[in-house]
A and B are shown apart, each in its own frame.
Chain A
């Protein structure tokens, strides 16, 4: 069974999704829910051996599977994970369980389709993280747009159609240019779509620069980086809670992962040459988007902008070209997965009760929902980067790495500690503290058992990672060091 572990990780959720879809109309909604939970849990269970059986001493791909898929183009069904992708696969499988539980009561319309879309997307995302063949990666990378488009469009809010189109077309624009790069690499590497072969292919500076730009657009849109970030707040505001959680916790990571798997190793010279560009964009994201977040009246929009700022740290860390920056970026990715998922779930909890996401409609929540307020406090602190939470670790590592490279990078990046605290805590203050002004808030009840479970699990993750991040960094350390060594070598012919 261990031979096909990654295939299981990819296909168990997809097959479960198809089964859920087969339950049909909303008459069978309870069956669809339990089946989805079983599918999501099965997906998580098969992913756990990836961690327990992982060899942290090597940067080579593990759990590799390789069979010819489209011999006409020399395309292989080639899966494998290293220390960079394995934690992301786990994060995704874990988040899927949360999403299914989060949608348990909230989604009453077309339940089977909703659950199936998430399960299928979870499998596709796992595939994107595990693919070692360019075309296979592209199929998963693009394929996940279809369920996400439907999730935003069908179950989203009033402006959902605009958001779904914007999201789809922005992402497609980037990935199509990446596809042309892949085809170009296919010929440059002598007829191979193998990603590891591409890592060794020598390329001229012009080709590298053009491909750098294509990759930057493809992955930059997904991350999203300033100035192509505008789809994210729209999609988030309109998406249902589960959609927001997956968007923030997982799909953004696919973009950042693309930098590490494709852009940096395939076009290292152009990446060094143009690092200033990415660093500038990242710093703008950190500082400027932080300010934008400050003035948001809609809680989901606020968290969406804060996601962009946090992902700015990830891209900043990657382009500092030192181990601390990379590991910091990766830790930040995982941490942001937990924290943003938790915050969107918190907003979901409030929205389910009051059907509003406007900060001004709330106030004095602590009087009615003390347990919720406590959890919300923890996640807000993590979002602000308080030490002992997971949010602190990644940001601290990246700032340390930035100091080594250029003091001013670190200076601008560190403003997030102020802005992040400002927008998160100010929102928290307005929503939770004060006296109850809105009569509807009077009727709000505290967390039910299902919500409590979700919050508790995420709280453990956030605190655990903040207090003892070693299990995460150990897994990625060797892969990061070896990949950095590879990126340091010139690939010019």
Chain B
């Protein structure tokens, strides 16, 4: 096997070339041609998807001297990353244009973030993992700060940056401990060395604690969640939409690569930590969400609780568990896109539809959009026949399989609490009268994508098998 091959990294190289190209082109054209960046970005995503599909791998392939891995897991996750990024661009376009943010920088930063995520899902080495994470994070910090006149957004960017840097530091510290114990940064070598046994238990566990803390920061799991509501709330909604969707998929890959592949043999050590993180996230996320009157903040807390649910799948430490967590995170990205997308859709120039009251009487203003939002809310609450139910079901069966029935009971109790605030949105849309009976002004293409988004939640709920089979299959083929 020639380890110094570049071929498996072709999609990444393509995205990088295209980003540079967009950067140059956008600098040369005037304001009337801004759509070029938009079109080129979508073309980049389509091209990357083509390259990924062309070389779908059935077995893991190492490349770039073992820094990079191309396996079924990374291929599938990348395809979902392209998809979510494309949907974000479509939803965000009108919103950005009305706020003077429709510039090349947004697209360049989004694509750089995408590149970082692609590296994260394909990393087989602590260094590449870290590089991908930093590329993603720095792009996101800049995106949040893009609206530079807004003090709220700047504050959010500052918080995000400082806490993100702290988390990166913890992660690096933990990685260095693991390196000290195993003598390697490559995940496969680490797994091999740990499986052979080590005398250095204390430094190893110490390292794992820091790694898990760093990961929890990035996921926004309690008690490392403080940045999530402020950033979600402060950032322009288009950026929140992006932060709340694609990076979660990458974060899943990140956690599974480190814990599931590198530290697989230490599952007994990190499982208990994840149990605590998961229970706290579900509890704090769901309880705090009830008290919010701002929809973006509410979704921020709901994200925290959803990440808790996803951790349930990972902490099982089985293929079944990773598969269910993957299913969960993809479904979550889909729902989150729809939820934030709806805020964008209802926003107008100088008006953010991000308060709960802005959804009052939506059924009068637009029955179809209200129905789509109803599907999304019931899906987030995990009520069948929407796909959110199967996501919850799959992580529950993963924890019951390892004998943690009490954890499953705790999870359903918290999801019951969570159902309350999703129901409240449905109540506002259907039971209340609107403040202003204006019809919703949204462009046809965003409406179309939103309809597809909502119907996907229902269609995947009626026929969940294809997506579920893909998740089970790629996890089995990649581990």
Where the two chains meet, the residues of A that have a C-beta atom closer than 8 Å to any C-beta of B are 24, 69-73, 110, 113, 135, 138-139, 142-143, 145-146, 149-150, 153-154, 160-161, 164-165, 168-169, 172-173, 176-177, 179-180, 183-184, 186-187
Contact = CB atoms under 8 A, between A and B. Distances in A.
A71 B472 CA distance: 11
Interface of B: 363, 367, 374, 378, 383-385, 389-390, 393-394, 396-397, 400-401, 405, 408-409, 412-413, 415-416, 419-420, 423, 426-427, 430-431, 464-465, 468-469, 472
A263 B24 CA distance: 68
A139 B389 contact: yes
Contacts of B472: 72
What are the nearest 4 A-B pairs in CB distance? A176-B412, A139-B384, A72-B468, A153-B431
A135 B419 contact: no
10 contacts: A24-B367, A70-B465, A113-B367, A139-B384, A146-B378, A165-B423, A168-B423, A169-B423, A184-B400, A187-B400
B423 A177 contact: no
Given A180-B405, A183-B400, A153 B427 contact: yes
Given A177-B409, A187-B400, A161 B416 contact: no
A180 B431 contact: no
Given A138-B384, A179-B393, A150 B430 contact: yes
B427 A180 contact: no
Contacts of B384: 138-139, 142-143
Contacts of A180: 396, 400, 405, 408-409, 412
A113 B430 CA distance: 11
Contacts of A24: 367
A120 to B, nearest CB: 10
B370 to A, nearest CB: 10
Max count, chain A CB within 10 A of own CB: residue among B363, B378, B384: B384
Nearest to B410: A180
Given A142-B384, A169-B416, A154 B431 contact: yes
Given A142-B383, A187-B401, 15 more contacts: A70-B390, A70-B468, A71-B469, A73-B394, A135-B393, A145-B383, A146-B374, A153-B430, A153-B431, A164-B427, A165-B427, A172-B416, A176-B413, A177-B412, A180-B405
B465 A71 contact: yes
B409 A149 contact: no
Contacts of A145: 383
A58 B413 CA distance: 41
A149 B412 contact: no
A161 B431 contact: yes
A113 B364 CA distance: 12
A150 B377 CA distance: 14
A72 B431 contact: no
B255 to A, nearest CB: 22
A3 to B, nearest CB: 21
A191 B266 CA distance: 28
A246 B62 CA distance: 61
A184 B384 CA distance: 19
Contacts of A161: 427, 431
Contacts of A113: 367
A379 to B, nearest CB: 32
Contacts of B393: 73, 135, 179, 183
A160 B427 CA distance: 10
Contacts of A177: 409, 412
Nearest to A173: B416
Nearest to B399: A183
B423 A69 contact: no
A198 to B, nearest CB: 15
A72 B319 CA distance: 13
A183 B385 CA distance: 18
A183 B408 CA distance: 9
A146 B465 contact: no
B397 A183 contact: yes
Contacts of A186: 397, 400
Nearest to A177: B412
Contact of B389 (A142, A150, A154, A173): A142
Nearest to B394: A73
A166 B397 CA distance: 28
A168 to B, nearest CB: 6
B386 to A, nearest CB: 9
Contacts of A135: 393
Nearest to B472: A72
B420 A165 contact: yes
Nearest to A165: B423
Contacts of B464: 70
Contacts of A153: 427, 430-431
A297 to B, nearest CB: 26
Max count, chain A CB within 10 A of own CB: residue among B401, B415, B465: B465
A153 B419 CA distance: 16
A394 B430 CA distance: 40
B400 to A, nearest CB: 5
A69 B390 CA distance: 13
Contacts of B363: 110
B468 A143 contact: no
Contacts of B426: 149-150
A431 B423 CA distance: 38
Given A176-B415, A180-B400, A146 B430 contact: no
A138 B383 CA distance: 10
A72 B460 CA distance: 14
B385 A143 contact: yes
Contacts of B408: 180, 183
Given A138-B384, A168-B423, A183-B408, A72 B430 contact: no
B383 A160 contact: no
A184 B408 CA distance: 10
Contact of A72 (B405, B413, B465): B465
Contacts of B389: 139, 142
Contacts of A176: 412-413, 415-416
A378 to B, nearest CB: 37
B233 to A, nearest CB: 26
A176 B409 CA distance: 8
Nearest to A176: B412
A73 B160 CA distance: 40
A179 B397 CA distance: 10
A169 B420 contact: yes
B111 to A, nearest CB: 34
Given A72-B465, A180-B396, A184-B405, A160 B431 contact: yes
Nearest to B424: A165
Nearest to B364: A110
B463 to A, nearest CB: 8
A145 B394 CA distance: 21
Contacts of B383: 142-143, 145-146, 172
Contacts of A71: 465, 469
B419 A169 contact: yes
B207 to A, nearest CB: 34
A337 to B, nearest CB: 25
B163 to A, nearest CB: 34
Nearest to A24: B367
A491 to B, nearest CB: 19
Contacts of B412: 176-177, 179-180
A146 B383 CA distance: 8
A145 B430 CA distance: 15
Nearest to B420: A169
